[in-house]
Amino acid sequence: MFNRRRFLWLSSLAVGACSTRPVVKSATGSSSTSPVVPQRHPSFGRAIGPTALFAPKRGDVRAVVISDLNGRYGSTDYRREVMTGISILPQWEPDIVLCVGDMVAGQSISLNVSEVRAMWDGFNNLILKPIRDADIPYALTIGNHDASNQTRGDGSYIYTIDRDVTSRYWQAHQNDLALQYIDTGDFPYYYSFKQNNIFYIVWDASSANVPPSQVAWADQQLSSAVAQEAKFRIALGHLPLYAISQGRDRYGEFLNNADRLQALLKRHHVHIYMSGHHHAYYPGHANDLNLLHCGALGSGPRTWLNRTDTAMQTLTVLDFFFDTDDTVYTTYNMNTLELVDNQTLPRQIVGPTGRVLRNGVTLATLTPEEQSQTYIRNEN
């Protein structure tokens, strides 16, 4: 039941930061020897961030989470909000950057090989190189505009050029990302790694279908000793399990068989499923699984279902606290560089496949009117 999870709102971190506890304590190994306790980060507990911005208190591990960076089809440059985010990113002193897809603006059959290569060259020079020059590891999941796995009736990829160029680009950079791989699978589409005592699994959710072979692979990876002995387990995929934003509540815009995928993640005590694609920041939970819907840092931000708020570009700083099994999100509106106040986000979002509750909200705290809310199709 959901009440096994304790949500903490840390007032010392300001209203824009929210904290969650995992559904289940991290599993421990069966070895009779004592586990190795990682050395605490020397900046643990210090408020660290860019000058003039709110600085969150650092956890044992810090990640900066970005998603949906791209602009118009074929673009080789990025919006001001993206470039600002990349330029100030090192000042949060993250241990890793997690990018949840759509780094370039493909998924157009009118783009030729040279044009797709040019997009990745632009990404390399403007996004990846500054991050790696700052000596920050970089992990990614492939989005639909990077290299969609959508297929024709005969099983062939629709966006063959995107898949070919993307594969070549990332395979050339696979060993440049400072990731401690566990299984390279079919990098960059699916793979696993363990970084700072956190196990990460990435699957190819660049369309609504995660291939069955990958689901079986994910099951094996998450059940492994190296995964279960980690302090946290995090799963990343571009498409989400639930619809949360306007214009993204149609089938094909969220994962098929989401109930089965969610059951797999829950069975292996995954702490968070991180996704992009819906271009709206929403830290929530559904059926005992934490969900981080990452907002767009690039073009086309969206607002939530059944809301009329102004859409915003966002960037999230994620701190992991090992002693308490907490994760704290601090999210910035990159249009204004102000904190996103989580209390202003929808208390719940009801989509075509179910209900997502905002962090800190439970079914028991919903009003009768909220509990009876049903899905209303968005016409945008």
Alpha-helical segments (H) within the chain: 80-88, 113-123, 129-133, 144-147, 160-173, 212-223, 225-228, 258-267, 368-371
Maximum Cα–Cα distance across the chain: 59
Contact (Cβ atoms closer than 8 angstroms) between residue 152 and residue 110: no
pLDDT for position 270? 98
90: DSSP letter: G
Identify whether 379 is part of a domain: no
Identify whether 32 is part of a domain: no
Identify whether 195 is part of a domain: yes
8 beta partners: 19
Contact (Cβ atoms closer than 8 angstroms) between residue 229 and residue 174: no
Identify whether 29 is part of a domain: no
The range of the structural domain enclosing residue 251 comes to 2-22+42-371
Identify whether 33 is part of a domain: no
pTM as predicted: 0.91
pLDDT for position 31? 35
Contact (Cβ atoms closer than 8 angstroms) between residue 119 and residue 77: no
**317/331 Cα distance (integer angstroms):** 6
**238/172 Cα distance (integer angstroms):** 22
pLDDT for position 3? 35
Give the CATH number, domain containing residue 295.
Answer: 3.60.21.10
Could you tell me where the beta strands, DSSP code E, fall in the chain? 7-8, 17-20, 61-66, 96-99, 138-140, 181-186, 190-195, 198-202, 232-236, 272-275, 282-286, 289-293, 314-321, 326-333, 338-339, 348-351, 354-358
Identify whether 376 is part of a domain: no
pLDDT for position 40? 84
pLDDT for position 89? 98
> CA quadruple 224, 185, 127, 314: dihedral positive or negative?
negative
**85/67 Cα distance (integer angstroms):** 11
181 beta partners: 193
Helix (H), strand (E) counts: the chain: 9, 17
CA 95 from centroid of its chain's CA atoms: 16
pLDDT for position 39? 73
Could you tell me where the beta strands, DSSP code E, fall in 143-301? 181-186, 190-195, 198-202, 232-236, 272-275, 282-286, 289-293
> CA quadruple 254, 260, 263, 268: dihedral positive or negative?
negative
Identify whether 269 is part of a domain: yes
Give the dihedral of Cα atoms 27, 33, 34, 38; nearest 10 deg: -80
- Sequence length of the chain is 380
Identify whether 187 is part of a domain: yes
**168/42 Cα distance (integer angstroms):** 38
What's at 31, amino acid-wise?
Answer: S
- pLDDT tens column, 57-69: 999 999 999 999 9
- pLDDT tens column, 34-49: 445 557 888 899 999 9
Number of structural domains in the chain: 1
Per residue of the chain (380 residues), give pLDDT as tens. 333 333 333 333 444 666 665 433 333 233 334 445 557 888 899 999 999 999 999 999 999 999 999 999 999 999 999 999 999 999 999 999 999 999 999 999 999 999 999 999 999 999 999 999 999 999 999 999 999 999 999 999 999 999 999 999 999 999 999 999 999 999 999 999 999 999 999 999 999 999 999 999 999 999 999 999 999 999 999 999 999 999 999 999 999 999 999 999 999 999 999 999 999 999 999 999 999 999 999 999 999 999 989 999 999 999 999 999 999 999 999 999 999 999 999 999 999 999 999 999 999 999 999 999 999 887 65
